[in-house]
Amino acid sequence: MAAPEKDEIDLAAQETVREARTRTAPLDDNALDMMFNANRSFNGWKDDPVSDDQLKQIYDLMKQCPTSANSCPLRIKFIRSDEAKEILGPVVMERNRAKTLQAPVTAILGFDHDFYQHFGTLTPHRPTEMKERMEANPEMVPWWANLNGALQAAYFMMAVRAVDLDVGPMQGVDKPGMDALYWSGTKVKTAFIVSIGRGDESTIFKKLPRFEFEDICELL
């Protein structure tokens, strides 16, 4: 099969990757510890504030990662001010409340079940095709929203770690209550919340076991 024709924008994108690959290398052990091996889910926070610039940087990293047909269904509310925390408190389950309110920032992550309205912007080369497909097959919508929303939520947490901040993810929240408070008039559904800041090491629990490669991977 002949390679599809490339326009100037495709060629510029290819050049961006080629150039970046002249500068990049596998992460070193320190970076791998920060992103994966030594990092943990935190239950308490140091006082260090989280700036607007850091939140923007986290978003700008997260948004680059892939979703099906570039559907990008994740929506985020960042809770940082005392007033916003006062509203958040009652819709966080008791066992998660104190640590959430103590965090410098908590992100409420929601998945937009109306994501397919934005394909005109997100897939300009095929502006109507995906929208029509979702409208003809509405059972695809929650599946796409949840799969791609969860992917973006995971990218989000890794982006937080990439800027050397820590995460405390929690789904112990009143989801219908949060939907009413934060996503009223939309089709966004609350997924979970992620506290962000410099984690207090004294608040982590013992590390739970993980499956080994041999336990759950098969090389065929």
Ligand X SMILES: Cc1cc2nc3c(=O)[nH]c(=O)nc-3n(C[C@H](O)[C@H](O)[C@H](O)COP(=O)(O)O)c2cc1C
Binding site for ligand X (CB under 6 A): 40-41, 96, 169-172, 192, 204, 207-208
140-162 and 129-136 helices, crossing angle to 10°: 130
Closer to ligand X by Cβ: residue 117 or 171:
171
Question: Could you tell me the smallest distance in angstroms from the CB atom of residue 150 to ligand X?
Answer: 8
Rounded Cα distance, 41 and 11, in Å: 41
Q: Element (H or E) spanning 61, and its range?
A: helix 52-62
Question: Could you tell me the smallest distance in angstroms from the CB atom of residue 36 to ligand X?
Answer: 10
Minimal CB distance to ligand X: which residue?
172
Rounded Cα distance, 32 and 167, in Å: 16
Question: Could you tell me the smallest distance in angstroms from the CB atom of residue 208 to ligand X?
Answer: 5
Closer to ligand X by Cβ: residue 90 or 138:
90
Name the DSSP letter for residue 38.
Answer: S
Strands 166-170 and 105-112: unpaired
Question: Could you tell me the smallest distance in angstroms from the CB atom of residue 166 to ligand X?
Answer: 10
Closer to ligand X by Cβ: residue 108 or 130:
108
Asked if 157 contacts 192 with a C-beta cutoff of 8 angstroms, the reply is no
Closer to ligand X by Cβ: residue 10 or 36:
36
Question: Could you tell me the smallest distance in angstroms from the CB atom of residue 14 to ligand X?
Answer: 35
Closer to ligand X by Cβ: residue 73 or 134:
73
**Nearest Cα residue to 195 out of 118, 73, 109, 103:** 103
